[in-house]
Amino acid sequence: MSYLPKPKLHHPTLPKNALGYTRRDYEGAISTLCAGCGHDSISAAIIQACWELDIEPHRVAKLSGIGCSSKTPDYFLGASHGFNSVHGRMPSVLTGANLANRDLIYLGISGDGDSASIGLGQFAHIMRRGVNMTYIVENNGVYGLTKGQFSATSDKGSKAKKGAINTDEAIDLVGLALQLGATFVARSFSGDKAQLVPLIKAALLHKGAAFIDCISPCVAFNNHEGSTKSYDFVREHNEVVNKLDVILGRQPITAEYEPGSVTEVTQHDGSVLRLRKLAPDYDPTDRVAAMNYLQERKAAGEIVTGLLYLDPDPTDLHANMGTVEVPLNRLGDAELCPGSAALARINAALR
Amino acid sequence: MKPTDIRNPDYFHKVVDCQWACPAHTPVPEYIRLIAAGRYTDAYMINWHSNVFPGILGRTCDRPCEPACRRGRVEHEPVAICRLKRVAADNKEDVLARLPPIPKERNGKRIACIGGGPASLTVARDLAPLGYEIHIFDDQPKPGGFIRTQIPRFRLPEEIIDEECGYITERGGVVLHMNRRVESLKAVLAEGYDAVFVGTGAPRGRELEVPGRKEAAANIHIGIDWLASVSFGHVNTIGKRVIVLGGGNTAMDCCRSARRLGGEDVKVVVRSGFEEMKASPWEKEDAMREGIPILNYLVPKEVLHEGGRLTGIVFEKVKAEYDAKGRRSLVPTGEPDVAMECDDILVAIGQENAFPWIERDIGLEFDRWGLPKLDPATLQSTIPNVFFGGDAAFGPKNIIWAVAHGHEAAVSIDLFCRGEDVRNRPPPDVRMGSTKMGIHEWSYDNDVSLDLRYKVPHRELSQSLRDITAEVELGYDRELAYKEAQRCLNCDVQTVFTSSLCIECDACVDICPVDCINFTENGEEEELRKRLKAPAINPTQDLYVADGLKTGRVMVKDEDVCLHCGMCAERCPTGAWDMQKFFLETAKPKARQPACAL
């Protein structure tokens, strides 16, 4: 709730990335969210991830719906494209934008209300279509903008700030995404940037539907005793299955690990995702096992975080539709409108 | 690392770099804020309590505060602290009513101050309001010492000296013995003063010892003596071609004075390199702006003369060589010597202490450099009721050090006269209080100005060279002063962290514009400094460490480039961060209400 913009002055040794930008160049306007909001930490993680990946800000399109979470694209990547769409409709706007210009990096930002309530249908379909994007749900399990009602991701039995107990079953967006065919599925916590930043980087590099469910405590309405999305509760019940390092081609691999403790997955673009196993038998490339494991740990009252599922060789919407390599928005009249002779041929083929 | 003890006043004092660097520990950000608020008289009084001569120092101080200023580490140049001080002095209203009253009733103690410079005047100012009777002895007609005799009028108008000395000497309690040279300390001691303070400065200019010096003596002048003669109007011309030897501030005053008294071709010649010169960078700039070249790496070898008249001087060319320990020596380059013609030479190659008037058999011991043996904290000599300060104590320094010594000596003298242990120093007056007014409202202006340092307007060169009394610097006007004051980062508004309130949400880490806040595993300082979000590469700046967090981590804040913008406290949902104003005033004799309460 700062009125003043963040001072432009920065640390004298602030490093620059390959493009000559500092991390501060990836910031946006000052946040107007409540002080201490987990969403601001996620914004900071996105800024860090984009800076580390040397992403040109104008190559990113950030899209969102409605809600606290959906305000946040204003607070990062101030030089990127942005579209603050209708409540729950970010997935269709993102799909359309992706169809028109497949060259941009698509970053969808949503919340538990936007994706699990009003936008649940849109969420389901964008996942099953395999749109090449990074979809982050900033999940605080509460309707913060309307002062603290349970949301669709509030756990059954958890307590509201005013004391009411939630009687409805929670929607598990990670479970849905796995079931609906997302090819990169992760869960993280806004209070653990060491985990979150590599996950966002890997998701941005992933050429398919990448989904991150990021638990993000609402300091104003859901950070109390009895909440299952408070800083304290998540820290106590966080079960991290693996730790991720994203290794780009030019970085030498220096660290050494015990044999068997590390899994390396090479993504389609050549980037290497190195996973240090914390849960010994967890295999993030086995979708069915991942779904089982998640159900099992959830029943034990734990919150599983880390890279939960990865298909290193995904297909996306454009591959499925067989569209041309050139983005549609760059095709000229001649390509888009082949003329009456071509039309006549098509019509003839249908007779 | 151990958690930081923020109750130790030194910790936050050190964060206020300017105040820590000031020998008199002037609360700089406090008076700069008052200037920005247009409260010039209040700003003046903050200064007056700490450094006694705001108008004089606002023009002449060596400004140790400015190289220390945090602003210089986050952008290019420090805040123009010194020139803002002058703004307070220039724009203040009558302050007489605000000066501490001098009691009619004396306390019966008599103190002799030998030398009428800034150190003695400070002692007088601190002690007279407590009822002491101060006797100041000086061989000049007016008080001020080197402030009056050495600093040219184009840098410091005489009325400023009169005014600020007058606040001390003309309000009672102080007896001036002017035009009276003290020839014997023994005799002074015999007069039965309760304490004697020696503030006689470093009055002897170092001599040039090369062949030809004696023969051409009529046109070779010792810089500080020549400046004094100029100051009193005894000298008002000089030859057309003048060479000034030496690289300190006295040399700069000599060359610029010579330029105003008829010197057309004035040069400064120094032994060392240009960079190593002792003169302040701004004084070198001012000299060069007046068309005075500075020639370096030239060592005087021989004075040339003809029929008893100076004709020139020969220099040997040298270069700097450094040994394995980094010590410099100047060695001849072997190139041919350089001869320069000139009509006058001014010698400003250093000053020395001289105590011919102190008998060596009265128990006052000197060290092997001819300086008195003193306790550095109390300034007490080997005769218990004799104290030293200013240049007379530890050799040539500057006005602000003389003032700082004066304060300490006054504390010692007061303790001594009350029969207490002079080593039992009173603590400073320290206050802290929150500046929080609302959710994002603070009682200080936390918006960080991006302006670069503003230049002080100067009188036009042709005009200032015509008149040796025309002040060159015109000072900031109120508008410029406001803008420059806004550059101050308010380093005295401290970031205070309370672990028990912290929920480790990272909001402060994310918002901090200079990446100085970290939540991490504890470690040894050296190792910890390397792995912070922004490496803490400035070992002179402390790390603020707090433990007691739920996750077992520690909060580590690198104080180095903190902007004191309060963003961490604005973004903190629980008030674990607070912005608290830290006010410290060094102990003066007897407790007294500080000028500005929190």
Please name the residue that has the structure tokens 């990335």.
A17
Q: What is the dihedral of CA A221, A224, A226, A229, to 10 degrees?
A: 70
Check CB contact under 8 Å for B75 and A24: no
Which residues 134-173 of A are in CB contact (within 8 Å) with B? none
Q: Tell me, what's the pLDDT at B597?
A: 41
Q: Tell me, what's the pLDDT at A248?
A: 81
B450 touches chain A (CB under 8 A): yes
Please name the residue of chain B whose CA is at the shortest distance from the CA of residue A25: B513
* Alpha-carbon B365 to chain mean position: 28
**Which of B513, B550, B571 shows the shortest C-beta gap to A7?**
B513
- Strand runs labelled E in B25-132: 110-114
Q: How many CB atoms lie within 10 A of CB A158?
A: 20
**Which of A9, A220, A232 shows the shortest C-beta gap to B74?**
A9
How many residues belong to chain B? 598
Check CB contact under 8 Å for A36 and B563: no
DSSP B129: G
Please name the residue of chain B whose CA is at the shortest distance from the CA of residue A223: B503
Tens-binned pLDDT, residue by residue, of chain B (598 aa) = 999 999 999 999 999 999 999 999 999 999 999 999 999 999 999 999 999 999 999 999 999 999 999 999 999 999 999 999 999 999 999 999 999 999 998 999 999 999 999 999 999 999 999 999 999 999 999 999 999 999 999 999 999 999 999 999 999 999 999 999 999 999 999 999 999 999 999 888 899 999 999 999 999 999 999 999 999 889 999 999 999 999 999 999 999 999 999 999 999 999 999 999 999 999 999 999 999 999 999 999 999 999 889 999 999 999 999 988 888 889 999 999 999 999 999 999 998 888 999 999 999 999 998 899 999 999 999 999 999 999 999 998 999 999 999 999 999 999 999 999 999 999 999 999 999 998 888 999 999 999 999 999 999 999 999 999 999 999 999 999 999 999 999 999 999 999 999 999 999 999 999 999 999 999 999 999 999 999 999 999 999 999 999 999 999 999 999 999 999 999 999 999 999 999 999 998 864 444 444 4
Please name the residue that has the structure tokens 């008829």.
B262
Q: Please report residues of B whose CB lies closer than 8 A to that of A219.
A: 503, 505, 573
A15 touches chain B (CB under 8 A): no
Nearest residue to A114 via CA among A78, A138, A81: A138
Q: Tell me, what's the pLDDT at B562?
A: 97
A281 pLDDT band (50/70/90 cuts)? confident
Q: What are phi and psi of A325, to 5 degrees?
A: -65, -35
Nearest-10 crossing angle of helices A193-205, A38-52: 50
Residue A301 has pLDDT above 60, yes or no: yes
* Contact by Cβ (8 Å): A339, A232: no
Beta-bridge partner residues of A73: none
* Contact by Cβ (8 Å): A209, A316: yes
Q: Are strands B110-114 and B338-341 parallel, antiparallel or unpaired?
A: unpaired
Mutate to test the interface with A, among B452, B491, B506 (most CBs of A within 10 A): B506
* Contact by Cβ (8 Å): B223, B246: yes
Higher pLDDT, A177 or B329: A177
Distance CA A35, CA B566 (A): 13
Provide the shortest C-alpha distance from residue B29 to chain A (in Å): 19
Paired tokens of A6: 């963040």
Q: What are phi and psi of B346, to 5 degrees?
A: -110, 125
A194 touches chain B (CB under 8 A): no
Q: What is the dihedral of CA A92, A93, A97, A102, to 10 degrees?
A: -40
Provide the shortest C-alpha distance from residue A42 to chain B (in Å): 10
Distance CA B552, CA B271 (A): 59
Check CB contact under 8 Å for B534 and A38: no
Provide the shortest C-alpha distance from residue A37 to chain B (in Å): 7
Q: Please report residues of A whose CB lies closer than 8 A to that of B509.
A: 44
Which three-class secondary structure state does DSSP give residue A349?
Answer: helix
A35 touches chain B (CB under 8 A): yes
Q: Please report residues of B whose CB lies closer than 8 A to that of A235.
A: 550-551
**Which of A10, A37, A193 shows the shortest C-beta gap to B513?**
A10
| Greatest C-alpha distance within chain A | 72
Buried b (16+ CB within 10 A) or exposed e, B305-341: beeeebbbbbbbbbeeeeeeeeeeebeeeeeeeeebe
Q: Tell me, what's the pLDDT at B133?
A: 96
Provide the shortest C-alpha distance from residue A225 to chain B (in Å): 13
Nearest residue to B437 via CA among B581, B259, B557: B581
| Cβ-Cβ contacts under 8 Å for B403 (sequence gap 6 or more) | B23, B24, B51, B52, B53, B57, B118, B119, B122
B517 touches chain A (CB under 8 A): no
Nearest residue to A215 via CA among A242, A189, A185: A189
Provide the shortest C-alpha distance from residue A188 to chain B (in Å): 14
**pLDDT tens, position by position, A146-159:** 999 999 999 999 99
* Contact by Cβ (8 Å): A178, A308: yes
Q: Tell me, what's the pLDDT at A251?
A: 57
Q: What is the dihedral of CA A280, A282, A283, A284, to 10 degrees?
A: -130
* Contact by Cβ (8 Å): B118, B216: no
* Contact by Cβ (8 Å): B29, B60: no
The interface pTM score, or ipTM, of the predicted complex is 0.91
Q: Which helix (H) or strand (E) holds B41?
A: helix B40-51
* Contact by Cβ (8 Å): B184, B335: no
Residue A106 has pLDDT above 80, yes or no: yes
Q: Which long-range contacts (CB under 8 A, 24 or more apart) does A277-284 make?
A: A277/A241, A277/A242, A278/A240, A278/A241, A278/A242, A278/A243, A278/A306, A279/A239, A279/A240, A279/A241, A279/A242, A282/A241, A282/A242, A284/A241, A284/A242, A284/A308, A284/A309, A284/A310
SS (H, E, C) A48-75: HHHHHCCCCHHHEEEEECCCHHHHHHHH
B571 touches chain A (CB under 8 A): yes
Residue ranges and CATH numbers for the domains of chain B are 100-203+353-417 (3.50.50.60), 206-349 (3.50.50.60)
DSSP B581: E
* Contact by Cβ (8 Å): B220, B345: yes
Please name the residue of chain A whose CA is at the shortest distance from the CA of residue B74: A12
A224 touches chain B (CB under 8 A): no
**pLDDT tens, position by position, A109-118:** 999 999 999 9
Residue A259 has pLDDT above 70, yes or no: no
Mean pLDDT of all residues in A214-241:
95
**Which of A9, A34, A235 shows the shortest C-beta gap to B514?**
A9
> Where are the alpha helices (H) located in chain A, listed in sequence order?
38-52, 68-71, 90-100, 112-116, 120-129, 173-180, 193-205, 231-237, 287-299, 317-321, 333-336, 340-350
- Strand runs labelled E in B479-552: 493-497, 517-520, 543-546
Q: How many CB atoms lie within 10 A of CB B15?
A: 24
**Which of B440, B447, B510 shows the shortest C-beta gap to A41?**
B510
A16 touches chain B (CB under 8 A): no
| CATH architecture of the domain covering A23-321 | 3-Layer(aba) Sandwich (3.40)
**Which of B75, B503, B574 shows the shortest C-beta gap to A9?**
B75
How many residues belong to chain A? 351
Residue A338 has pLDDT above 90, yes or no: no
**pLDDT tens, position by position, A44-102:** 999 999 999 999 999 999 999 999 999 999 999 999 999 999 999 999 999 999 999 99
Provide the shortest C-alpha distance from residue B567 to chain A (in Å): 7
Higher pLDDT, A273 or B571: B571
pTM, two decimal places: 0.91
A235 touches chain B (CB under 8 A): yes
Q: Tell me, what's the pLDDT at B596?
A: 46
Residue A242 sits at the vertex; the CA angle it makes with A237 and A245, to the nearest 5 degrees, is: 130
> Where do the domains of chain A lie?
23-321
Check CB contact under 8 Å for A12 and B450: no
Check CB contact under 8 Å for A3 and B511: no
Q: Are strands A209-215 and A184-189 parallel, antiparallel or unpaired?
A: parallel
Check CB contact under 8 Å for A219 and B535: no
Q: Please report residues of A whose CB lies closer than 8 A to that of B503.
A: 36, 219, 223, 231-232
DSSP B101: P
Q: Please report residues of A whose CB lies closer than 8 A to that of B504.
A: 191, 231
**Which of A14, A220, A223 shows the shortest C-beta gap to B534?**
A14
Q: Tell me, what's the pLDDT at A257?
A: 62
Edge-to-edge strand list for the sheet holding B386-388: B174-177, B133-137, B110-114, B195-198, B386-388
Across chain A, mean pLDDT equals: 93
Check CB contact under 8 Å for A4 and B574: no
**Which of B440, B505, B513 shows the shortest C-beta gap to A3?**
B440
SS (H, E, C) A287-345: HHHHHHHHHHHHHCCCEEEEEEEECCCCCCHHHHHCCCCCCHHHCCHHHHCCCHHHHHH
**Which of B509, B537, B563 shows the shortest C-beta gap to A9?**
B563
Nearest-10 crossing angle of helices B81-91, B478-485: 140
B439 touches chain A (CB under 8 A): yes
| Cβ-Cβ contacts under 8 Å for B597 (sequence gap 6 or more) | B431
A9 touches chain B (CB under 8 A): yes
Q: Which long-range contacts (CB under 8 A, 24 or more apart) does A19-23 make?
A: A19/A54, A19/A56, A21/A51, A21/A57, A22/A51, A23/A47, A23/A48, A23/A51
Check CB contact under 8 Å for A36 and B440: no
Residue A189 has pLDDT above 70, yes or no: yes
Distance CA B193, CA B197 (A): 10
Q: Which amino acid is at A109?
A: I
Provide the shortest C-alpha distance from residue B492 to chain A (in Å): 18
* Contact by Cβ (8 Å): A310, A246: no
Mutate to test the interface with B, among A1, A3, A4 (most CBs of B within 10 A): A4
Beta-bridge partner residues of B583: B431
* Alpha-carbon B554 to chain mean position: 38
